[in-house]
Chain A
């Protein structure tokens, strides 16, 4: 008995493939755009970890006012957009230097008890040290708490990262930025006032 012949393979016509492609490309673009827009309102993992550590250790409930994140792509578009605009040399130097920036603002609702700043300080240190950051500055006085962190390794003028937290008793601001300092340094070192000051310093 002869085996029955296999049914012929059905290939989608080329036109159908084109149709799928035409449908998929805008859909993909839409997804990428949605992810891009969503990432503008989400802090990076280091900043998120710092925020979570601070909030948890403070022992009080916080409200988020804003969380914005502008990466290299967003800032690149801004740079390109402003390349023809007339800007102060200072502003242009800053624009060229910044490669990424994010900010988060959180506040205490009225009537909330004062958070434990010493615990927040310690928690911030623990969190950031575990992620390879060093605390460069830590200031705590009656109401305020300020901490500045920088990566423990791989710091150069081309790639400088910094994470700052400021709490003034009612509002907490987290700022993290990445920059190429060279355009900024070049601008600063070409200022006559700064040159004169530096000259005075070396003469001491």
Chain B
């Protein structure tokens, strides 16, 4: 019986490892986030099938936009409204995600800490030191919300606003604009 359980556990572990191995290197699992009672919660997950469909639809008229869309495999946006119930937990969660990204070799490109307490972190991961494999943006605004964004694919932080515009994803547009404002003026 013990041998049987052990065999099942080993097979299950193997399956889990395979599942992890299948996910692209730029993908980050933010874990299960439950919406707070009465708080706002938005989750958008656009996978490669939809992105390639969007690219296909604009291929002839807008090849540049199609190229941008084809370079992305996944867009995952989480907006969690903060209430007294979940503020401390979400702050801890965001801190943990940033810590994990650091530990997994993600490069922290931008950190913006504003006077009102809003804290933005931008992380990127490269593939073979050349193309970008993924991008993670964490925004923690203690008075309003926490935003977690993961874009898998070869996309630069300055292209986020354009991608948000194209896919009509408001949080992406807003974060893209905030990054633009925070960038040093040339």
Contacts and interface: CB of A to CB of B under 8 A. Distances in A.
Given A118-B34, A150-B50, A157-B57, A137 B43 contact: yes
Main secondary structure of the interface of A (DSSP, over half): mixed
B85 interface: no
Contact of A141 (B46, B60, B62, B81): B81
B101 interface: no
B58 A138 contact: no
B62 A134 contact: no
B89 interface: no
Nearest to B81: A141
Nearest to B63: A202
Main secondary structure of the interface of B (DSSP, over half): mixed
A121 B36 CA distance: 13
B53 A142 contact: no
Interface in B27-72: 34-35, 37-47, 49-50, 53, 56-58, 60-62, 64-65
B162 interface: yes
Contacts of A201: 62, 65, 162, 165-166
Contacts of B47: 134, 152
Contacts of B42: 137-140
B152 interface: no
Contact of B45 (A134, A140, A198): A134
B35 A118 contact: yes
B173 to A, nearest CB: 12
Interface residues of B, number: 29
B161 interface: yes
A118 to B, nearest CB: 6
B49 A153 contact: yes
Contacts of A189: 57-58, 60-61
A198 B61 contact: yes
A202 B56 contact: no
A136 B46 contact: yes
A195 interface: yes
B61 A204 contact: no
A75 interface: no
Interface in B71-100: 81
Contacts of A138: 41-44
A145 to B, nearest CB: 9
B57 A155 contact: no
A139 B80 CA distance: 10
Contacts of B161: 204
Contact of A121 (B35, B49, B61): B35
Contacts of A160: 53
A185 interface: yes
A137 B44 contact: yes
Interface string A144-184: 00000010110111001000000000000000000001000
Interface in B113-154: none
Contact of B49 (A141, A152, A185): A152
Contacts of B44: 136-138
A135 B45 contact: yes
Interface in A32-56: none
Contacts of A152: 47, 49
Contact of A202 (B34, B37, B43, B64): B64
7 contacts: A118-B37, A138-B42, A156-B53, A181-B57, A199-B62, A201-B62, A201-B165
